[in-house]
Amino acid sequence: MFPSKALLSIVLIAALSAVDASPLRREAAATLAFTARMNARASNVNIVDADRARAQAMQHPSFKRASSSSFSIANAVTVYTAQVGVGSPATQYTLLVDTGSSNTWVGAKTPYKQTNTSVATGDSVSVYYGSGMFSGVEYLDTVTLSSNLVITGQSIGVASSAPGFNAFDGILGVGPISLTQGTVSNVDLVPTVTDNLYSKGTISTEALGVYFVPGGGAGELTFGGFDSSKTTSSVNYVPLTTTSPSSIYWGIDQSITYGNSTILSATAGIVDTGTTLIFIATDAFNKYQSATGATLDRNTGFLMITSDQYANLQTLNFNIGGTSYGLTPNSQIWPRSLNTNIGGSSDNIYLVVNDIGSNSGTGLDFVNGYSFLQRFYSVFDTTNHQVGFATTSSTSATSN
């Protein structure tokens, strides 16, 4: 334990969690209320296309500056927002939480209000998320995550243009700092919120623990380590991949088997809270579709199976660092109570695995999105250059 340090637990559905002792955590954690919400399905947005556009943009290292993709991360079905204060006195902003980007910015909806803690840097900022983007100017200001966790001198963007983000005020970017490169003029890298929490001694390890549950229910994001009260196994860590472009993000190496058959040989990909589904390379996807007998539903873009096919689904195993993380049949289907959110029929059964749009070998051959993360606790550890996973009480739940 580190008696002089504190952790920040960001609770998605407001709740204080019991916290056990751990080398990465303190017994008391500062909390900030988060909200899990399901986006209404826009009439002109297909969720699969939106997720795929994000994945394909990430396959190109220059996507922060330019992209031909068609959708913004704000189109995700499930989004997580925090009320974050900026300035003194603080103005509250509703920010999307995203591990797939690293710039924190405000002003898309609620205007940025300068106070005596606001310092204009004179630098411009622009970040692309697919074709969705924001641009504006960079400020240094006080960011308040909770009453006892305040970051002074945090670099933030102030949007002058932010198409696609009219329902939110901006983003709280908690991805790797490398994703900020080239986004702010006259600056190489922009320290993230997590970087500053660590550099100022607020947390002892630069790590994020992420806990979700199926269907957008209660969960938490813990800065500084992980909450062992949410896990039912030890956390198994794997080094970050060195394969580009996955190495730019929270990238890992894994293989995937369906039942006893390998559908994706060991390759690099990413773990991403900003992606709703699970995406795999086209050649692996074709094997999965053939093995399950699923058909493509043109209306939603999801694979669809019958009740008989569901009864015969086998476990989909993600083999990571010598440990197998199995998605049960129930874990492989979209929550049936939320079928209308994707434009589907309430009686249909849809699978959460989809086609990334390119064959394996791109250097980013899978995205383990929210549909994976809701079944396993994940730890994003910058200090030790690793990502960890553990089982939870939701790993084998049958809530879908």
Tokens of 321: 């660092």
Separation between Cα atoms, residue 128 and residue 57, nearest integer Å: 9
Rounded CA gap, 329 and 384, in Å? 34
For residues 204 and 29, the answer to whether their CB atoms sit within 8 Å is no
Q: How far apart are CA 159 and CA 124, in angstroms?
A: 10
Identity at 373, one-letter amino acid code: L
How far apart CA 16 and CA 185 sit, in angstroms, is 40
Q: Which of 99, 275, 125 is nearest to 194 (CA)?
A: 99
Burial state string for 214-231 with b = 16 or more CB within 10 A and e = fewer than 16: bbbebbbbbbbbbbbebb
Number of H helices, E strands in the chain: 5, 24
Q: Omega before 89 cis (within 30°)?
A: yes
Catalytic (active-site) positions: 98, 272
